[in-house]
Amino acid sequence: MPNLELYVLPGCPFCARVETALDELGLEYERHTVPALRFSRSTVKEISGQTGVPVLVDHDNGVEGMAESRDIVRYLEETYGGASA
């Protein structure tokens, strides 16, 4: 199984888009809920260089903080067998 982690904010439509893609691809992942206030997201900042979410980490493929939901969904589909976005 992939060793995936996803940093999300509840109610974030971009995060939901990535989680839907993960679920549709049948991928297991560890979900990390981040604080609502951007200045409190030090972990996300350390991982990705920015404070926005979603952020994906894929330890199996050397991805250490991919941001932008479209990029993440495209990456997941290309890497784990879905159709291209």
Structural domain contains residue 73? yes
Structural domain contains residue 85? no
pLDDT digits (tens, 9 = 90+) for 37-61: 999 999 999 999 999 999 999 999 9
Full residue range of the structural domain in which residue 61 is found? 4-80
The domain that holds 36 is classified in CATH as 3.40.30.10
Structural domain contains residue 31? yes
Structural domain contains residue 63? yes
Global confidence as pTM: 0.90
3-state secondary structure 21-71: HHHHCCCCEEEEECCCCHHHCHHHHHHHCCCCCCEEEEHHHCEEEEECHHH
Count: domains in the chain: 1
pLDDT for position 81: 84
User: For the purposes of burial, counting CB atoms within 10 Å of the CB of 39, is it exposed (0-12), middle (13-18) or buried (19 or more)?
Assistant: exposed
The more confident residue out of 71 and 84 is 71
